[in-house]
Amino acid sequence: MAHFAVGIDLGGTNLKGALVDRSRGIVHQEQIATPAELGPEAVVARIADLARDLASRASDPVVGIGIGSPGAINWERTTVTRPPNFPGWDTVNVAQAIRLQFGRADLPVLVENDANVAGLGSAHYGAGQPFDSFVMVTLGTGVGGSIIYENRIFRGSTGGAGEIGHMTIDYEGPMALSGVPGAIEAYLGQNFLSDYARLYLRNRRDSLVHKMTAPNLTDISPRILHKAAVEGDEAAVEILAWAGHKLGCLMGSVVNLLDIRKFVVGGGVSGAGDYILDTTRKTLPQYVMPALHDGLEIVQETRGNDVALAGAAHLVFQEIGI
Amino acid sequence: MAHFAVGIDLGGTNLKGALVDRSRGIVHQEQIATPAELGPEAVVARIADLARDLASRASDPVVGIGIGSPGAINWERTTVTRPPNFPGWDTVNVAQAIRLQFGRADLPVLVENDANVAGLGSAHYGAGQPFDSFVMVTLGTGVGGSIIYENRIFRGSTGGAGEIGHMTIDYEGPMALSGVPGAIEAYLGQNFLSDYARLYLRNRRDSLVHKMTAPNLTDISPRILHKAAVEGDEAAVEILAWAGHKLGCLMGSVVNLLDIRKFVVGGGVSGAGDYILDTTRKTLPQYVMPALHDGLEIVQETRGNDVALAGAAHLVFQEIGI
């Protein structure tokens, strides 16, 4: 018998949903605009609509709904507090509201931090499958992360574990948005990396990147840097390697603390792939104590948003033990 | 009925043992010199002798023997590999050898990393008792650590987790013995801290520390810095605060990654206590993302080696579920 669950990825712009089969993964996907500006009730109603629609496509009743969400999630995985870019939210019991609207009072509905859900999805349906334990790093607007330990999310004391983007690699370094000096986000967050690239390219007038962007490099992005690197542009290669080096320094600290030696890297910036990660791989062992050098490995998650959707559904499979 | 176990702390110089009552803690303690120079067989024989002697003082048969050891421990907690300062060791199955010598083939005998054992002891018999989860930091010759998560040792993928001393706070910082640039050990390890103090005091001829040490500050130590600080010496206060600041930067990264917000600090250097830790407490929130600020707490472990002995015995209580 097949087991189905619905996985939801709640974003500030788009609301994505998938019908997930326990063994086959995603079997159907949909996406609608998130009505964030209409407030939490409207958002919850659309999630329930989407879930109902997805559930109707399954050959058996779905066993539950899992939701990856921004904002702070409580230990019980029911409430979402102040998600950025969602006006009018304080703390909302999303799980309860969806259960009511969905019309099955006993249905398991679980909410989890979006980075954690991506990690869980990678562990069971993505690049993390070969590893029992790994740390996922998501390079996007910010730098997110999650710890997968023995195939489950490591949640810490209150559910907030995995905030790797705020770990410092230089206590006197540049300040990230969180206010933490030298946090890795201040080097690899998309805007910070672009700022660095603009400075770097001032003295590299020969770089292709100048021709590939608007005047003064205003629309520079990791994607453009990657494109220039592929075309052999030295400056672009150097900038991405600089970012990779910083990531390696950080990962070293993670290995020393956790003795988890596998990393899965995803997110938009990671599209620059090995231009970043080759340097990360060279740097990492320099920041790991010798006794923990064996088996260090960094792989890329190429399934993008799919792992977040599959991971959200997997919250339910794991909770009910199937 | 009382439950007794033997706890052993295997040091390069001294071999310490305790008879531990599950509910009362240590009821008897002994210490002998470690015959490290005679090789592993002699060391194991002395551990078995000591354990037999301690066991004979219990009103009931002991339920097992737990051993805190330097060197690398395998996942099964039976073998010790290349402990520093123990000539002639490669990998030795200490658990099996002791079981044989002790004369009870079915006796639970468990070996665990010494820093982990100290953390477990603090969790159940020391300053860590109020916390379900905390990170222990041991400030001594090196900087050791362990992660206690939900009252148990978090061991990572192979048993090597908790090596907080090798985490970097400055990727271009001074190099620790492990070769990791900017590792916290390169600031707070006893010799590194003393080196820093010597430099700092060159231009502080007025400091009391000059009168309290041999010429050229050759025998400077955290203990002397603490003594001078207590007597109101400004330079000593500043040096210890400098060390405390570095520790706060590091702890911030730990909180962001683990969402574990409690720290227990032990070890010789921690004898300088609040001269270090007051600054650590002020610095810590600056290196933690805002959402994780609530409930940050740093306490001192004052029971010293006792928690290591009690923790070693507790390995057995936890293993057999009493």
Q: What is the pLDDT of residues B189-243, one digit of tens each?
A: 999 999 999 999 999 999 999 999 998 899 999 999 999 999 999 999 999 999 9
Chain B residue whose CA is closest to A293: B160
B143: confidence class by pLDDT, cuts 50, 70, 90: very high
- Give the pLDDT confidence of B57-80 residue by residue, as tens digits: 999 999 999 999 999 999 999 999
Type of residue found at A209: V
Please say if the pLDDT value at position A286 is more than 90. Answer: yes
> What's the rounded mean pLDDT across residues A88-96?
95
What structural domains does chain A harbor? 4-120+306-320 (3.30.420.40), 129-302 (3.30.420.40)
B72-73: strand order across its sheet: B72-73, B79-81, B91-93
Please say if the pLDDT value at position B304 is more than 90. Answer: no
Cβ distance B259 to A147 less than 8 Å, yes or no, reads no
Q: According to the model, what pLDDT value does residue B255 have?
A: 98
> What's the rounded mean pLDDT across residues B40-62?
96
Cβ distance A253 to B253 less than 8 Å, yes or no, reads yes
Structure tokens at B110: 């468990």
Give the distance from residue B154's alpha carbon to the nearest chain A alpha carbon, in angstroms: 8
Coil, strand or helix: which one is A184? coil
- Which of chain A's residues have a Cβ under 8 Å away from the Cβ of B152? none
Least CB-CB distance to B163: which of A163, A182, A289? Answer: A289
Judge contact between B118 and B307, C-beta under 8 A.
yes
Cβ distance A171 to B290 less than 8 Å, yes or no, reads no
- Give the pLDDT confidence of A213-249 residue by residue, as tens digits: 998 899 999 999 999 999 999 999 999 999 999 999 9
- Maximum separation of any 2 CA atoms in chain B, in Å: 64
Q: According to the model, what pLDDT value does residue A104 have?
A: 87
Q: ipTM higher than 0.90?
A: yes
- Give the pLDDT confidence of B88-133 residue by residue, as tens digits: 999 999 999 999 998 888 999 999 999 999 999 999 999 999 999 9
Judge contact between A106 and A291, C-beta under 8 A.
no
